[in-house]
Amino acid sequence: MNANNPETWVIAAVLVLALIAIAFLIARERKRRQSRRLQERFGPEYGRVVAQRGDRTKAESELKAREQRVERLTIVALAPADAAKFGQAWSALQGRFIDNPKGVVMDADRLVRDLMVKRGYPMVDFERRAADISVDHPALVETYRSAQAIALRDQRGEASTEELRKAVVYYRTLFDELLEVRTARQPTERDTVVHS
Protein backbone atom coordinates (compact mmCIF):
# COMPACT_ATOMS: atom_id res chain seq x y z
CA MET A 1 0.00 0.00 0.00
CA ASN A 2 1.15 3.43 -0.85
CA ALA A 3 0.92 6.01 1.93
CA ASN A 4 0.18 8.71 -0.62
CA ASN A 5 -2.73 6.74 -2.00
CA PRO A 6 -6.12 8.27 -1.02
CA GLU A 7 -7.53 4.76 -0.60
CA THR A 8 -5.00 4.09 2.19
CA TRP A 9 -6.10 7.23 4.03
CA VAL A 10 -9.76 6.25 3.76
CA ILE A 11 -9.04 2.76 5.14
CA ALA A 12 -6.97 4.24 7.99
CA ALA A 13 -9.74 6.74 8.81
CA VAL A 14 -12.37 3.97 8.81
CA LEU A 15 -10.20 1.86 11.14
CA VAL A 16 -9.67 4.77 13.52
CA LEU A 17 -13.42 5.50 13.57
CA ALA A 18 -14.15 1.82 14.18
CA LEU A 19 -11.71 1.76 17.12
CA ILE A 20 -13.27 4.90 18.56
CA ALA A 21 -16.75 3.37 18.23
CA ILE A 22 -15.62 0.14 19.91
CA ALA A 23 -13.98 2.09 22.76
CA PHE A 24 -17.18 4.12 23.19
CA LEU A 25 -19.33 0.97 23.31
CA ILE A 26 -17.01 -0.68 25.83
CA ALA A 27 -17.05 2.44 28.05
CA ARG A 28 -20.85 2.66 27.84
CA GLU A 29 -21.21 -1.03 28.79
CA ARG A 30 -18.86 -0.57 31.77
CA LYS A 31 -20.89 2.44 32.91
CA ARG A 32 -24.14 0.46 32.54
CA ARG A 33 -22.71 -2.42 34.59
CA GLN A 34 -21.45 -0.05 37.25
CA SER A 35 -24.88 1.62 37.46
CA ARG A 36 -26.58 -1.76 37.79
CA ARG A 37 -24.11 -2.87 40.49
CA LEU A 38 -24.68 0.31 42.48
CA GLN A 39 -28.47 0.01 42.10
CA GLU A 40 -28.34 -3.58 43.34
CA ARG A 41 -26.01 -2.77 46.23
CA PHE A 42 -27.75 0.37 47.48
CA GLY A 43 -31.37 -0.43 46.58
CA PRO A 44 -33.72 2.46 47.42
CA GLU A 45 -30.78 4.55 48.63
CA TYR A 46 -29.55 4.68 45.01
CA GLY A 47 -32.79 6.32 43.88
CA ARG A 48 -32.77 8.71 46.85
CA VAL A 49 -29.24 9.91 46.09
CA VAL A 50 -30.00 10.29 42.36
CA ALA A 51 -33.08 12.36 43.21
CA GLN A 52 -31.14 14.40 45.76
CA ARG A 53 -28.23 15.11 43.40
CA GLY A 54 -30.41 15.52 40.33
CA ASP A 55 -27.78 13.76 38.25
CA ARG A 56 -27.01 10.04 37.94
CA THR A 57 -23.28 10.55 37.40
CA LYS A 58 -22.90 12.74 40.51
CA ALA A 59 -24.99 10.33 42.55
CA GLU A 60 -22.95 7.33 41.45
CA SER A 61 -19.73 9.18 42.25
CA GLU A 62 -21.04 9.84 45.75
CA LEU A 63 -22.05 6.20 46.24
CA LYS A 64 -18.64 4.99 45.05
CA ALA A 65 -16.98 7.47 47.43
CA ARG A 66 -19.08 6.03 50.28
CA GLU A 67 -17.93 2.53 49.39
CA GLN A 68 -14.29 3.62 49.36
CA ARG A 69 -14.63 5.50 52.66
CA VAL A 70 -16.29 2.57 54.44
CA GLU A 71 -13.75 0.17 52.94
CA ARG A 72 -11.02 2.12 54.76
CA LEU A 73 -12.84 1.78 58.11
CA THR A 74 -12.21 -1.10 60.43
CA ILE A 75 -15.74 -2.38 61.03
CA VAL A 76 -15.60 -5.27 63.49
CA ALA A 77 -18.09 -7.78 64.81
CA LEU A 78 -18.77 -7.65 68.52
CA ALA A 79 -17.33 -10.06 71.03
CA PRO A 80 -20.14 -12.18 72.52
CA ALA A 81 -19.80 -10.42 75.90
CA ASP A 82 -20.18 -6.98 74.27
CA ALA A 83 -23.18 -8.18 72.28
CA ALA A 84 -24.78 -9.47 75.47
CA LYS A 85 -24.24 -6.10 77.21
CA PHE A 86 -25.80 -4.25 74.30
CA GLY A 87 -28.68 -6.72 74.21
CA GLN A 88 -29.32 -6.22 77.92
CA ALA A 89 -29.17 -2.44 77.52
CA TRP A 90 -31.75 -2.64 74.73
CA SER A 91 -34.06 -4.85 76.81
CA ALA A 92 -33.88 -2.40 79.70
CA LEU A 93 -34.52 0.52 77.37
CA GLN A 94 -37.53 -1.15 75.78
CA GLY A 95 -38.98 -1.96 79.20
CA ARG A 96 -39.02 1.76 80.07
CA PHE A 97 -41.00 2.79 76.98
CA ILE A 98 -44.46 2.81 78.60
CA ASP A 99 -43.32 5.06 81.45
CA ASN A 100 -41.10 7.39 79.41
CA PRO A 101 -41.48 7.12 75.60
CA LYS A 102 -39.67 10.42 74.94
CA GLY A 103 -36.65 9.45 77.00
CA VAL A 104 -36.54 5.99 75.45
CA VAL A 105 -36.31 7.40 71.91
CA MET A 106 -33.31 9.52 72.92
CA ASP A 107 -31.78 6.50 74.68
CA ALA A 108 -32.40 4.29 71.63
CA ASP A 109 -30.63 6.81 69.40
CA ARG A 110 -27.72 6.97 71.83
CA LEU A 111 -27.52 3.17 72.13
CA VAL A 112 -27.46 2.75 68.34
CA ARG A 113 -24.69 5.36 68.12
CA ASP A 114 -22.74 3.60 70.90
CA LEU A 115 -23.09 0.32 69.04
CA MET A 116 -21.89 1.94 65.82
CA VAL A 117 -18.83 3.31 67.62
CA LYS A 118 -18.08 -0.09 69.15
CA ARG A 119 -18.29 -1.67 65.68
CA GLY A 120 -15.90 0.96 64.23
CA TYR A 121 -18.14 3.51 62.51
CA PRO A 122 -16.97 7.10 62.96
CA MET A 123 -19.37 9.41 64.78
CA VAL A 124 -19.64 12.43 62.56
CA ASP A 125 -22.92 14.17 61.72
CA PHE A 126 -26.08 12.16 61.16
CA GLU A 127 -25.99 12.26 57.35
CA ARG A 128 -22.44 10.90 57.33
CA ARG A 129 -23.46 8.08 59.71
CA ALA A 130 -26.45 7.26 57.50
CA ALA A 131 -24.25 7.32 54.39
CA ASP A 132 -21.75 4.95 56.04
CA ILE A 133 -24.55 2.61 57.16
CA SER A 134 -25.98 2.59 53.63
CA VAL A 135 -22.92 0.80 52.28
CA ASP A 136 -23.35 -2.40 54.30
CA HIS A 137 -27.00 -2.03 55.36
CA PRO A 138 -28.77 -0.28 52.48
CA ALA A 139 -32.19 -1.71 53.29
CA LEU A 140 -32.08 -0.18 56.78
CA VAL A 141 -30.75 3.30 56.14
CA GLU A 142 -34.21 4.67 55.38
CA THR A 143 -35.59 3.33 58.67
CA TYR A 144 -32.62 4.97 60.42
CA ARG A 145 -33.50 8.27 58.74
CA SER A 146 -37.15 7.85 59.75
CA ALA A 147 -36.21 7.16 63.38
CA GLN A 148 -33.95 10.21 63.40
CA ALA A 149 -36.67 12.42 61.91
CA ILE A 150 -39.11 11.33 64.62
CA ALA A 151 -36.48 11.92 67.31
CA LEU A 152 -35.96 15.46 66.00
CA ARG A 153 -39.74 16.10 65.96
CA ASP A 154 -39.83 14.76 69.52
CA GLN A 155 -37.19 17.28 70.60
CA ARG A 156 -39.51 20.03 69.32
CA GLY A 157 -42.45 18.42 71.18
CA GLU A 158 -44.20 17.48 67.92
CA ALA A 159 -44.08 13.66 67.96
CA SER A 160 -47.01 11.54 69.09
CA THR A 161 -46.61 8.46 71.28
CA GLU A 162 -47.34 6.29 68.21
CA GLU A 163 -44.55 8.01 66.29
CA LEU A 164 -42.21 7.47 69.22
CA ARG A 165 -43.15 3.78 69.23
CA LYS A 166 -42.34 3.63 65.51
CA ALA A 167 -39.00 5.34 66.12
CA VAL A 168 -38.07 2.72 68.71
CA VAL A 169 -39.06 -0.05 66.27
CA TYR A 170 -36.94 1.58 63.54
CA TYR A 171 -33.97 1.93 65.88
CA ARG A 172 -34.45 -1.69 66.97
CA THR A 173 -34.33 -2.91 63.38
CA LEU A 174 -30.98 -1.20 62.80
CA PHE A 175 -29.74 -2.22 66.25
CA ASP A 176 -30.48 -5.89 65.55
CA GLU A 177 -28.65 -5.71 62.22
CA LEU A 178 -25.62 -4.03 63.77
CA LEU A 179 -25.49 -6.48 66.67
CA GLU A 180 -23.24 -8.80 64.68
CA VAL A 181 -21.37 -11.18 66.92
CA ARG A 182 -17.90 -12.55 66.30
CA THR A 183 -18.06 -16.33 66.43
CA ALA A 184 -15.31 -18.69 67.41
CA ARG A 185 -13.27 -19.90 64.46
CA GLN A 186 -14.37 -23.32 63.32
CA PRO A 187 -11.55 -25.86 63.05
CA THR A 188 -10.58 -26.65 59.49
CA GLU A 189 -9.53 -29.99 58.09
CA ARG A 190 -5.96 -28.75 58.28
CA ASP A 191 -6.36 -28.13 62.05
CA THR A 192 -7.64 -31.67 62.66
CA VAL A 193 -4.98 -33.53 60.75
CA VAL A 194 -2.76 -35.48 63.14
CA HIS A 195 0.90 -35.36 62.23
CA SER A 196 2.99 -38.46 62.95
Residue 190: inside a domain: no
- pLDDT at residue number 183: 52
For the chain, how many structural domains are there in total?
A: 2
pTM for the predicted model, two decimal places: 0.74
- pLDDT at residue number 30: 84
Residue 196: inside a domain: no
Instruction: Let me know whether 61 and 107 are in one domain.
Output: no
Task: Give whole-number Cα distances, 174 to 20, 40, 55, 103, 110, in Å.
Answer: 48, 20, 29, 19, 13
Instruction: Let me know whether 84 and 146 are in one domain.
Output: yes
Q: Which residues of the chain have pLDDT under 70?
A: 1-3, 181-196
- Cα(103)–Cα(120) distance, integer angstroms: 26
- pLDDT at residue number 2: 61
Instruction: Let me know whether 131 and 109 are in one domain.
Output: yes
Task: Give whole-number Cα distances, 137 to 27, 41, 60, 96, 147, in Å.
Answer: 29, 9, 17, 28, 15
- pLDDT at residue number 166: 95
H or E element, residue 3: none
Instruction: Let me know whether 95 and 157 are in one domain.
Output: yes
- pLDDT at residue number 184: 44
- pLDDT at residue number 15: 85
Evaluate whether 130 touches 144 at the Cβ level (below 8 Å).
yes
- pLDDT at residue number 171: 95
- What DSSP designation does 44 have? H
Instruction: Let me know whether 89 and 65 are in one domain.
Output: no
- pLDDT at residue number 114: 94
- Cα(190)–Cα(120) distance, integer angstroms: 32
Instruction: Let me know whether 121 and 164 are in one domain.
Output: yes
Instruction: Let me know whether 120 and 159 are in one domain.
Output: yes
Instruction: Let me know whether 114 and 37 are in one domain.
Output: no
Evaluate whether 64 touches 47 at the Cβ level (below 8 Å).
no
- pLDDT at residue number 33: 87
Residue 110 belongs to domain spanning: 80-178
- pLDDT at residue number 191: 38
